[in-house]
Structure 1
Amino acid sequence: MCGLLGMLTANSNAAQFVDAIETALPCMRHRGPDEAGTWHDDDAVFGFNRLSIIDLEHSHQPLRWGPADQPDRYAMTFNGEIYNYIELRKELTELGYAFNTEGDGEPIVVGYHHWGADVVRHLRGMFGIAIWDSVERQLFLARDPFGIKPLYYATTDKGTVFASEKKCILEMADDIGLLLELDKHAVEHYIDLQYVPEPESLHKGIRRLESGCTAIVQPGGELKQTRYFRPQFPAQFVPKSKEQDLFDRIARALEDSVEKHMRADVTVGSFLSGGIDSTAIAALAKRHNPNLLTFTTGFEREGYSEVDVAAESAKAIGVEHIVKIVSPEEYVNAIPKIMWYLDDPVADPSLVPLYFVAQEARKHVKVVLSGEGADELFGGYTIYKEPLSLKPFEYMPSPLRKGMHYLSEMLPHGVKGKSLLERGSMTMEERYYGNARSFNFEQMQRVIPWATREWDHREVTAPIYAQSTHMDPVARMQHLDLFTWMRGDILVKADKINMAHSLELRVPFLDKVVFEVAETIPYDLKVSHGTTKYALRKAMEQIVPAHVLNRRKLGFPVPMRHWLASDELFGWALDTINDSQTDDIFNKKALVEMMQEHRNEVIDHSRRLWTVLAFMIWYGIFVEKRIDPGIEEKEYPVYL
C-alpha cells in the first residue's frame, strides 16, 4: 500500500522534474508515512509514499526488476494489495522467473514481463499500477476492476503526470504548465449526482483512469486507455433443487476471499455496523484471527446509531468491540479536513462518521476489513425492488404512459401517488441513474441558473445502459451502480477517508472470485421473499447472527435532516453559504430560502443542501484558498 506519483516526460528531461516530484510527494504522506523515495532515468520520474503491510523490511518502491539479460529494465510503483501474490509467485517461479523480495508487488512486474497488459487478469486485489519499460519506452498504467484504488493523470506538452491523489498534480501544476480551471460541466454532474463521475474531476485537464482499465503512454504521446473488465450478469435460471448449491458457492467464495484479505504482516481488524455485510465479513475474519478487533461509530441522537446492534453482533461472534460516538461539533470541525483529503467533494454525510471510526481504528490496527460492494453485487438496495412494483406499467401502451406522465406533473408536490405515476411512466433509462439524486432539473436551475442541459445525467448513464440491454432489470441497475454510485461515492470515501489516517481498508466482497459467483445469481434470488440480497442472506445463515440476518441496512446513518433544521448546524450552514465566494455558480438567495423551507419543515432539502455545502467547503480550500483545512504541517503539509 502506498501513494504513487510520477511523470513520463515528453523530452527525455526527467531530471528537471525530480525536485517537483519530491516537493509534491508530502501532500499525500498520509497514504504512506512509513517510507518515501524517488527514482528517475532520462524519461521517467517515480515517487512513492509507503504504508508497509507485507514484507515490511523489503519490497521498497519504486521497485526495479528485469530478466537476466536486461537487468533493471522495469521500474514500478503501485498502490494497493495483491491477495493472490503467493500463488502468482509460485506460478511464475515454475515458469523460470526469479524473485528478490517476499512482497506482493514484485509478482506484478514479473507478470507484466511475462503476460504484458494481460497481467491485470491474473491479479486478485485492489490496485493502481505504474510500470515504466525502459526498453520499449512506454508507461503502463492500470486500475483494479472495481476502482477501489484511484489513479489521476494530466498531460501537457511537458509530459504526463500520474498520482494516487489529485492534490499532488495540483502542487505540480506550475512545473508542468497545467492551467488550473474549474470544470463547470463536472460541477453540474456533481450537483446532479452528489459525486464527480469518472473519468472527470472538478479541474479541467486532470482526469482519472477509469476502473477496470489499463493505459499505455509513450514519451510525448497521448494516454491510450483500454477496458479489460466488463461485467456481464448472464441470464441464469436456478431450479429450486439447485438453490442450495448456489448458496454454498457464495459462502465458499466469500470465505476464501476473507482468508486471502487477511494476508498481512500487521494486525488486521474489521468495521462492524448493524447489517449483514460487515457482520458476515467480521464473522469470517474471526476464524482467521481469534483476537479480532471490530469498530463502529454512531451518534447520540436516537434512531441514528447502530452501536447497540453492532455490540450485540460483536458479542455473538466473539470479538472485542470498540465504539466511537460523534458529536455535531466534531462533525462540523472535521468537514474541511475531509474535503481536503477527498480531492473532489462527495456529498455523502456518512463520510464524517467513517472519518472518526477510521481514526479510532488506526490507534489499534493498520488494516481493516469492510463490507463495501455487497449491495451492488448481491442486489442490496431497496430501490432494486422497483422493477417489481412498476412491472404493471410495462404492459401499458406508450400513449397511455405519456398521459400518466403529464398527469404526474400536474399533481402538487407531496400528493400520494405522484411519484409512482411519474416513475411508472418513464423507462428505466429515464428514471434511474444510480443510487443517488440530489436535484431534478427544475431544482437545479433554482440554485445554478446557468444549468442548461435537462437530464444531463444521460451523458454519464447512457453509455453504461447501452452495455446492459441483455440483462434483467435488477442486473441493469446493479451494472449502472457499479460504474456510477459505487466507484463515484462508495469507493472514493472508502479509500480517501481511511487513508487519511494511514489505515488500509480492504473490501472482500469486491473480489474477482466472489464476483464470478455473484453475477450468476438470477433475478428471483436477488430481490425475493420481501427482502434484498436474498441469496447472500441464505448463504450466510450459518455464519451471521440471527438478529442481523434479515435486518434492514443502515450503515453509518447521519441525522443531517435534524441537524440542518436545528441550532446544531443551521447557523453554520447559513454562514457557509454567505461566506462562500461562489456567487457566479450558485443563486445564494435561493439557497437561503431553501434553508428556511427546510427549517420550517416545508420541504426536506437536507440532501440538496448538503450537496451544495460540501462543494462550498471544497471550493473554499482548493479554489478560493480561503479555508484552512486544519491539516497539521508537522504531519502533512497544507495545500493552499
Structure 2
Amino acid sequence: MCGFTGFTGNLSNREEIIEKMMDRIIHRGPDSSGIHSDENVTLGFRRLSIIGLENGSQPMYNEDKSVVIVFNGEIYNYEKIKEELIQKGHIFKSEADTEVLVHLYEEKGMDMLKHIRGMFAFVIYDMNKKELFAVRDFFGIKPFYYSNVNGNLIFGSEIKSFLEYPHFKKEVNPVALENYLSFQYSVLEETFFKGVYKLMPGHYLKYKDGKVDITRYFEPEFNPQQIKLQEAIKAVDNTLQDSIKMHKVSDVEVGSFLSSGVDSSYVAATFKGDKTFTVGFDYDNYNEIDYAKDLSEKIGIENFNKTITTQEYWDTIPKVQYHMDEPLADPSAIALYFVSNLASKHVKVALSGEGADEFFGGYNIYKEPFDISFITVLPKPIRKALAKIVKLIPFSFKGKNLFIRASKDVEERFIGNANMFSKEERESILKSPTGKYDTTDITKPLYEKVKHLDDVTKMQYIDLNLWLVGDILLKADKMSMANSLEVRVPFLDKEVFKVASKIPSDYRVNKQATKYIFRMASKEYLPEMVSTKKKLGFPVPIRVWLKEDKFYNKVKDAFSSNVAKKYFNTDKIIAYLDNHKQGKGDFSRKIWTIYMFLVWHNEFFEEA
C-alpha cells in the first residue's frame, strides 16, 4: 500500500517538481521513496512496506527496463501468477506483488486485468510503445485522479499532489458543489477541482500522443439464480472465508477494525488475528466499545479502543477534510480517522467490513419496498393524490413520509443512502445554481441497466456504483492512508461478488431482515445477538452537538463568513441552523453537508 504521482512531458526541472508532489502524499508511504524520470514521463512513489519488505521498492521495471510501474494496492493471488510467469521464462528480482504486474503486462497486455485479484491503482509506462497505461480496480477501492495541464497529463493517488505542479490552476467546480449538496459526496467524474477527474472503478486509461482514451473493463452485474437457501448460505460462507484468507497475505501483522455491526464482527471472529480496534464517543448511545470488548473476549482476541472526546472530534475536522481531497459530509469519516490512527500504532494492515451492505443488501433503506408495499399496490395516480393530501396535513405523524415516498417509483425517490437537499432546496440556498444536473440525471443511466430487476436490487446497484465509491471507499482509503495504515476490504472481492450477484433478492432482503443470507452465514461464528443485530451505521452525535452553544456558534461563524457569502444565500443556511437549535426539526445532516464544504474550502483555497 502506497501512493504515487507523476506527469508526462519533458520539463527541465522535473525531478525537483516530482519531489514536491511526492512530499504532499508522504503520509501514504513514509517508509521509502523512488523516482523514474525521462523525457517522456516522470513517476514518483512513496512506499508503505507490506510485501517484499527488503526488495519491493518502486518504481519497478521489467528485465530490460523497457516497462516501468508505480502501484498502489495489493494483488492477493500474486504468488500463483508469479509461478506461471516464471515457467514462461520471466525473471524476478523481488518478492513483491508489484513485479508480477510488470511481467503480466508483458505477457498479456490489457488482458492482464482478467487474471488479477486484489485492490489496485497503477500506472505502467511502456517505453517501446511510448504509451502510458493506468488502471483502477474493479470496485474503486483505490483512487486514481488525472488532469490535462498545458498538454501534459498529471496523475496520482491524491489530488493534493497536483498543487505542486507548475501551471496547475486550482479552481472550485460549481457543478460538483451543486450535486454534492444532494448526495453528500462528490458524485461526478469531474472532481471539486475544475479539470481534475477520477478514473472510475473498473476502467483503464491509455495515454499516447497527447490523447486520453478510457475503457471500461469490468462491470458488476446482478444476475439472481434459483438456489436452495442452505446451498446459498454455504456458498456465501465459503467464498467469504476464502477471501479473508487471501486478504491476510502479508509480510507484516494484520489486525481488524471492530464495531458493533455484523460485518466487522464476522471478519474479527474469523480472520484468526490477534488484535481488533474500536472507537466510540463520550456520549450515551454513541459508544460501541463495551460491545467490542465483550466480543473480542469471547473470540479470544485483544481489543484496543479509544473514546473520542467531543473536542478531539471537532479539532480533527479540518485535517480530515484536507486528507479527503474533496468534501465529504459523512460524519463517520472523522471516527474512521481515529480508529485508523489507533490501529496504526499497533499494525500496518487492518481488515474492515466495507462492501457487505452493497453486495448482500445490508442497508435499512432496502426494506422500504416492503414497508410501502401496502401503498404501491395502488395505481400511481391514486398514490400521488394520497401524497398531496398527506402533504397538506400541517403536523408530522408516523408514516407521513412513507405516503409521500410511495407516490414515487424507486427511480424517482432513491439516489443512494444519502439524499440531503432536493433540487429546489439547493437552488434556494446556492448563490449561483448551475442547474446542470438533476439527481435523476445521474442515476438514470444506472437504473436503465437494471430495469428488469426488482426494486431492492436496483437500489443495491445504485449504491454499488455511486455511494460505495463516492463515500464508503473514499473515506476508507483517505482516512487510513492519512495514518499510514493499509485497510483491506475482504468483502469487496470479485470472487465474492460472483457469488453475491447470484443470490436471490429475497435471500438478501426480506421482511425478516436486511442482509439475510450474510446473517445466516455468520451464525456459525457469532452470538445470536450479533448476527441478528439491526444495522446502525457509525453513530455520531452531531444532532446533539449542533444544539450546544459552543458548536452552534462555531458553525454559525462559518455560515456567516465571506466564503459562505460567495457560494450561499447565508440567511437561508443560517435558518437551517437556527431551526435545528430551536427544535423545529432535525436539520443536522443538511447543516453538516454545508459546513464540511466550507471547512474543505478553507483548507485548500484559503491557505495563508
**Alignment TM class, shorter chain as reference:** over 0.9
- Shift in CA distance, 153/514, structure 1 to aligned 2, threshold 3 Å: same
Pick one of 231, 237, 241 that aligns with 2:220.
231
Provide the alpha-carbon RMSD of the alignment: 1.6
Cα distance in structure 2, aligned partners of 1:15 and 1:282: 51
Pick one of 176, 180, 188 that aligns with 2:178.
188
Cα distance in structure 2, aligned partners of 1:577 and 1:453: 23
More off after superposition, 50-59 vs 383-392: 383-392
SS of 2:425 mapped into structure 1: helix
Q: Does 1:103 align with 2:96?
A: yes
SS of 1:225 mapped into structure 2: strand
Q: Does 1:337 align with 2:323?
A: no
Instruction: Name the amino acid aligned to 1:597.
Output: N
- Structure 1 residue runs of 5 or longer lacking an equivalent are 627-640
Residue-pair matches, total: 608
Q: Does 1:505 align with 2:487?
A: yes
More off after superposition, 484-493 vs 397-406: 397-406
Cα distance in structure 2, aligned partners of 1:454 and 1:412: 33
More off after superposition, 521-530 vs 158-167: 521-530
Cα distance in structure 2, aligned partners of 1:578 and 1:373: 39
Q: How far apart are 1:82 and its partner, in Å?
A: 0.8
- Structure 2 residue runs of 5 or longer lacking an equivalent are none
Q: Does 1:125 align with 2:118?
A: yes
Pick one of 448, 455, 466 that aligns with 1:473.
455
Q: Does 1:56 align with 2:53?
A: yes
1:382-418 alpha-carbon deviations (Å, 9 max, x no partner): 1111122233444433432342343344344634443
Q: How far apart are 1:547 and its partner, in Å?
A: 2.5
More off after superposition, 159-168 vs 106-115: 106-115
Q: Does 1:575 align with 2:557?
A: yes
Contact persistence 1:354–1:556 (CA under 8 A): no
More off after superposition, 427-436 vs 113-122: 113-122
In structure 2, the residue matched to 1:171 is 164
Q: Does 1:26 align with 2:23?
A: yes
More off after superposition, 181-190 vs 435-444: 435-444
Instruction: Name the amino acid aligned to 1:51.
Output: L
Q: How far apart are 1:425 and its partner, in Å?
A: 1.2
Q: How far apart are 1:579 and its partner, in Å?
A: 3.3
Instruction: Name the amino acid aligned to 1:97.
Output: H
The percent identity for this pair of structures is 41
Cα distance in structure 1, aligned partners of 2:111 and 2:457: 27
TM-score between the two structures when normalised by the length of structure 2: 0.97
In structure 2, the residue matched to 1:434 is 416
Cα distance in structure 1, aligned partners of 2:320 and 2:178: 21
Cα distance in structure 2, aligned partners of 1:393 and 1:20: 61
1:507-530 alpha-carbon deviations (Å, 9 max, x no partner): 000011111111111011011252
Cα distance in structure 2, aligned partners of 1:219 and 1:40: 18
SS of 1:614 mapped into structure 2: helix
In structure 2, the residue matched to 1:350 is 332
Cα distance in structure 2, aligned partners of 1:349 and 1:313: 25
Contact persistence 2:189–2:197 (CA under 8 A): yes
Cα distance in structure 1, aligned partners of 2:553 and 2:307: 23
In structure 1, the residue matched to 2:210 is 220
More off after superposition, 420-429 vs 571-580: 571-580
Cα distance in structure 1, aligned partners of 2:440 and 2:571: 29
Contact persistence 1:73–1:134 (CA under 8 A): yes
| 1:275-424 equivalent positions in 2, closer than 5 A | 275-286=261-272, 289=273, 292-412=274-394, 414-424=396-406
Contact persistence 2:132–2:207 (CA under 8 A): yes
Q: How far apart are 1:235 and its partner, in Å?
A: 2.8
Contact persistence 2:321–2:600 (CA under 8 A): yes
In structure 1, the residue matched to 2:234 is 248
SS of 1:279 mapped into structure 2: helix
1:547-602 alpha-carbon deviations (Å, 9 max, x no partner): 31101122431011001111352222122222352312111122222211111110
In structure 2, the residue matched to 1:638 is none
Contact persistence 1:216–1:224 (CA under 8 A): yes
Instruction: Name the amino acid aligned to 1:2.
Output: C
Instruction: Name the amino acid aligned to 1:528.
Output: N
More off after superposition, 467-476 vs 156-165: 467-476
1:299-329 alpha-carbon deviations (Å, 9 max, x no partner): 1211111111111111111100011101111
Contact persistence 2:68–2:126 (CA under 8 A): yes
Instruction: Name the amino acid aligned to 2:184.
Output: Q
Contact persistence 1:281–1:369 (CA under 8 A): yes
Q: How far apart are 1:15 and its partner, in Å?
A: 5.0
Instruction: Name the amino acid aligned to 2:55.
Output: H
SS of 2:563 mapped into structure 1: coil
SS of 2:564 mapped into structure 1: coil
SS of 2:520 mapped into structure 1: helix
Cα distance in structure 2, aligned partners of 1:160 and 1:408: 54
Contact persistence 2:282–2:310 (CA under 8 A): no
SS of 1:345 mapped into structure 2: coil
More off after superposition, 119-128 vs 437-446: 437-446
Cα distance in structure 2, aligned partners of 1:567 and 1:118: 59
TM-score between the two structures when normalised by the length of structure 1: 0.92
Q: How far apart are 1:354 and its partner, in Å?
A: 1.3
